[in-house]
Amino acid sequence: MYEEKILIGTDTTSGISPQILDAILVASNTKTLPYGNDVFTEKCKKIVKNIFENSDLEIIPMVSGTASNSLALSSFLRSYGSVICHSNAHINKDEGGAPEFFSGGGKLLTISNSLGRIKAEDLLKKIDEINFKRKSSPGISGVSITQLAENGTLYSLGEIDAISKICKKNNLYLHMDGARFSNALASQQDISPAEATWKVGVDCLSLGATKNGALAAELIIFFNKSLAKEARYLIKQTGHVMPKTRFITAQLNAWFKDGLWLKLAKTANKNALYLRNKLSEFNDFKILYLTQGNEVFVKMTYLSYEKILKLNIIPNLWDQIDKEHLVVRFVTSFETTTTQIDEIIGRLKTFF
């Protein structure tokens, strides 16, 4: 019926932003030493220090978000330790057991709720519960939160601050999975990268550019520099040192330049809201959660989902609620346009 397939289920279907492609070309023509001993990587470090208003941080350029999370966690998680995260966290459900592997058997202890974010009071309770039987259980090493959370909502600065205070009090490190950190930042008014991270107690950030304009570029930022040492050893042993490192940092430099990262994120976010509004007009769709980044979650029947596929629209099958109902995810990217969304809505009107 509709020939062109519209992929709207994930931002990893997107391409490379022109500015980043240009940067790759420039890097190709610039001969440098491999393994990060190059001007692009040197410059990247300066840019990040500047953007995050922190001259005392360490960075590790990566190409994989899963590895970026696992390496960051492994900087403080040992085989006999544990990290507390939300039960829906990407590290718990979608990374094939990578944190457990990188740490040689470390445990993820989860907090479940329908909010999709860790609440400070639940964290306190969890810590108390674990410490009660401390002797034979793995000790707690840290906490990991996801910004944007997996359900597309934002941790407020107050929420992070409350979590971070508990961490400090209990000697726990605080990691932030920022695969969509740029979308989170772009959707908040007047909050700086520094305020969104280390100023509220984040020890390390796994910052992703791949979903938002890069070919493959991620960055671990250690605001707590002492953590970087362990990760530097493990990055080689886990096969995540890229010989031609300049191609990662060149991407990142272009991404940060002139606020490109936030511009791309704003486009994605704006279109997500546009899509949400349009979808909410259909009786068959129930919108779930707030849309505070570039994701829209919709509750619908299996039947509705199958109809959508027949329209050659491909969202992401996110979760099953019961035998009849599903959660379906729509994700916009920096390349999404209102025209595309109108096309989606137009098609949907055929069947709904």
- The interface region with a copy of itself, picked from 92-100, 195-203, 263-271, 294-302 by CB under 8 A, is 92-100
Cβ 311 to a copy of itself shortest distance, Å? 17
**In sequence order, which residues have a C-beta less than 8 Å from that of residue 96 and are 6 or more positions away?**
66
Does 79 participate in binding a copy of itself (rule CB under 8 A)?
yes
Kindly tell me which of 135 and 283 has the beta carbon lying closer to a copy of itself.
135
Kindly tell me which of 71 and 174 has the beta carbon lying closer to a copy of itself.
71
Does 330 participate in binding a copy of itself (rule CB under 8 A)?
no
Q: Which backbone phi and psi does 65 adopt, to 5 degrees?
A: -65, -40
Query: Interface mask (CB under 8 A) for a copy of itself, residues 102-121, using x and -?
Result: xxxxxx--------------
Peptide bond before residue 33 is cis, with ω within 30 degrees of 0: no
Distances (CA, A) of 124 to 42, 130, 137: 40, 10, 17
Residue 342 to residue 220: CA distance in whole angstroms: 37
Dihedral of alpha carbons 304, 14, 238, 177, sign? negative
Residue 150 to residue 110: CA distance in whole angstroms: 14
Coil, helix or strand at residue 298:
strand
Query: Interface mask (CB under 8 A) for a copy of itself, residues 262-291, using x and -?
Result: ------------------------------
The footprint of a copy of itself on residues 217-256 (CB under 8 A) is 233-234, 236-244, 247
- The interface region with a copy of itself, picked from 100-108, 149-157, 254-262, 275-283 by CB under 8 A, is 100-108
Residue 60 to residue 171: CA distance in whole angstroms: 24
Amino acid at 155: Y
Does 175 participate in binding a copy of itself (rule CB under 8 A)?
no
The footprint of a copy of itself on residues 26-45 (CB under 8 A) is 27-35
Query: Interface mask (CB under 8 A) for a copy of itself, residues 127-166, using x and -?
Result: --x--xx-xxxxx---------------------------
